[in-house]
Amino acid sequence: IVKAHALYGNKEKAKDPFFGLTMGSGSQSSGDVFNWFCVEAGSSSNPTVLLIHGFPSQAYSYRNVLPVLSDKYRSIAFDWLGFGFSDKPQPKYGFDYTLDEYTSALESLIDAVAPDKLSIVVQGYFAPIVVKYANEHQDKLNHLILVNPPITDKHAKLPSTLACFSNFLLGEVFSQDPLRASDKALTSSGPYMMKEEDATVYRRPYLVSGASGFALNAITRAMGKDLKAYIESMRSILASDSWNTKTTICWGLRDRWLTYDGVEDFCDGLKHNVVQLPMAGHHAQED
């Protein structure tokens, strides 16, 4: 557990947004600083690589990657706030799950786990947040790897599997369903066939507390509102003459959420390396 990112607010007890009842401990802010669940492998003397999961997923998605990287790198994977086993405060009681908040929260976590230079791998819809952070801290980065990031105008609209969580009332119902929030959301994005033992890990946060569902609902709404602007900003950053960070874009071609059309056109003429993964989908680290 790593403590990072000071919470805001008046520290009142979090309440259910519909019935006004006091929420359980999983929805309450843990103190002055949030708790992040992190997994680390490899020697601390090796170069650091930070593995960042997508939406909606967990650090667990890198379970097969960590052992491979640990021979040469100090590899760290973490759960974003609201996901997996990190804190999941009720929105408006310390964290609202906006993209701007996630950007500043990421900075605080990196300062805690990797104060020196590092490389970053980020998969999926959190890529624009990471690029915004990276643009302000290029001196800290050795290499940035974007795995199936939303990078074209067509990518700005969330797939129906995720967009349903932002629907008024219906979204609250869906986000509390562990099979829809974990299994369906993960397996609808590509060829990934989830084993039951893996599904158990992904479902657990939704089974033990309603906090995971409320967080999923909040971040989906934030993505729907601000994702387009963040994608436009990411495109501008990656195409800028001031962008000097070595960048690789890996693309699982069997992604059912994000089309590959336009990705090569964007990268053509830029200095970024593009790697195609013919048998992988949106969550390439799973495939």
DSSP string for 62-80 = GTTTHHHHTTTSEEEEEPP
Q: Quote the pTM value.
A: 0.94
Name residue 86's amino acid. Answer: S
Computed over every residue of the chain, the mean pLDDT equals: 93
Average pLDDT over residues 230-240: 97
- What confidence score (pLDDT) does residue 85 get? 95
Residue percentage of the chain with pLDDT more than 70: 97
pLDDT per residue as tens digits for the range 202-227: 999 999 888 899 999 999 999 999 99
Taking the CA atoms of the chain, what radius of gyration do you get in angstroms? Answer: 18
Q: Taking the domains of the chain in order of start, what are their residue ranges?
A: 2-277
Asked if 37 contacts 1 with a C-beta cutoff of 8 angstroms, the reply is yes
d(CA 237, CA 127): 12
The CATH fold of domain 2-277: Rossmann fold (3.40.50)
Residue 14 reports pLDDT greater than 90: no
Is the pLDDT assigned to residue 17 strictly greater than 80? no
pLDDT of residue 32: 84
User: How much is the average pLDDT of 130-136?
Assistant: 98
The region of weakest confidence among 63-72, 87-96, 193-202 is: 87-96
Tokens for 34, please give them. Answer: 């949030």
Instruction: Supply the pLDDT for residue 57.
Output: 95
Say whether 20 sits in a helix, a strand or coil: coil
Are the C-beta atoms of 61 and 282 separated by less than 8 Å? no
In the block, tokens 């967990």 appear at 58
Q: Under DSSP, is residue 33 helix (H, G, I), strand (E, B) or coil?
A: strand
